[in-house]
Amino acid sequence: MEGKWIISEVDNSGALVSKQMLLFSIIEEDYVAGNIMIFRPGDAFAIVSEQGDTLDNGQYGISDNNEHLQLYSPEDDKVITYEMVPLGKGSLQLNPLSPGVMTGLVIEKKE
């Protein structure tokens, strides 16, 4: 998981169910296509805009079976859990599992 991953797709369709769910998706505004998720050795991660601005940072963890990714943002004091589904070489679909989180992502390993 270490390295840079480009957010290539963002799926907010689940957030459009109600106004309340839309508010939850606004919290996830750092998850925009083109932004980069950087996973550093150890447990540190950052989300960086295409312009290089740091949008969020925190810690990450991966389950023993490599099926789940957890992101912790100290700024929001929030943990988001995703199911990781391999889509092919260097590409993962991240399906949200945390209550209230409605944004799914596709990320691609940046060479």
Measured CA to CA, the distance from residue 78 to residue 109 in angstroms comes to: 25
CATH number attached to the domain at 3-109: 2.40.128.270
Residue 12 has pLDDT above 80, yes or no: no
Identify the pLDDT of residue 27: 46
- What are the sequence ranges of the domains in the chain? 3-109
Q: With bands split at pLDDT 50, 70 and 90, how would you rate the model's confidence at 77? A: confident
pTM of the model: 0.84
How do residues 20-70 score in pLDDT, each as one tens digit? 444 444 445 678 899 999 999 999 999 999 999 999 999 999 999 999 999
Identify the pLDDT of residue 58: 95
Residue 14 has pLDDT above 70, yes or no: no
